[in-house]
Amino acid sequence: MSAINSIIVAMKNPKLMGCQQVLLHPDKDLSAILEYACGEANKIYNCATYYARQVFFKEHRYGGIGNGVGGIG
């Protein structure tokens, strides 16, 4: 089965979709770097979610490009 046929079948039957884990075996230094990078990414995501919720509850609108949230648009 080709890749395109696999995608079409998966789109018709969502139960066939899944994810594949990529297991790493990092050394001590790489593990520390990955933990730091993932922690910082999580903090940024949490800040963005908090800000979007505050804008939504205060102004009853969704944030995004083009509608003036955060000085954009």
pLDDT at 73: 39
Which residue's structure tokens are 């800000």?
A: 51
Q: Confidence band (pLDDT; 50, 70, 90) for 59? A: confident
HSE value, Cβ hemisphere, 13 Å, CA-based, for 6: 5
Query: Angle 8-14-17 (CA atoms, 0-180°, nearest 5)?
Result: 85
pLDDT at 17: 61
17-54 pLDDT, tens digit per residue, is: 677 777 889 899 999 999 999 999 999 999 999 998 88
pLDDT at 28: 94
Of 4-8, 27-31, 69-73, minimum mean pLDDT range = 69-73
